[in-house]
């Protein structure tokens, strides 16, 4: 087990999060976010095996619902 693999999982998660942030298609956006979450879970599991703390959670901004005026 290596820290390199942990870094790779985190990098993949960040890449999918970046892609999701700019994706206009809501279905694809949700898929990209799920993929990012999966890599974050892998990173957390690997960090635990290495005796390290889990990576921080991503900052996801909720989309505010607007009501018609």
Higher pLDDT pick, 67 / 19: 19
pLDDT at 7 > cutoff 90:
yes
- Over residues 43-58, the mean pLDDT reads 90
Q: Are 41 and 54 in contact (CB under 8 A)?
A: no
Mean pLDDT, all residues of the chain? 87
Q: How many C-beta neighbours within 10 Å does residue 13 have?
A: 21
pLDDT at 56 > cutoff 90:
no
- The model's pTM: 0.79
Query: Smallest Cα–Cα separation from 7: which of 31, 51, 39, 49?
Result: 39
């Amino acid at each position: 087990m290596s820290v390199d693999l942990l870094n790779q999982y985190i990098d993949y998660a960040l890449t999918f999060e970046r892609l999701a942030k700019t994706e206009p298609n809501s279905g694809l956006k949700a898929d990209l976010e799920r993929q990012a979450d999966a890599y974050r879970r892998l990173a957390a599991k690997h960090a635990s095996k290495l005796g390290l703390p889990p990576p921080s959670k991503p900052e996801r901004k909720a989309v505010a619902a607007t009501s018609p005026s």
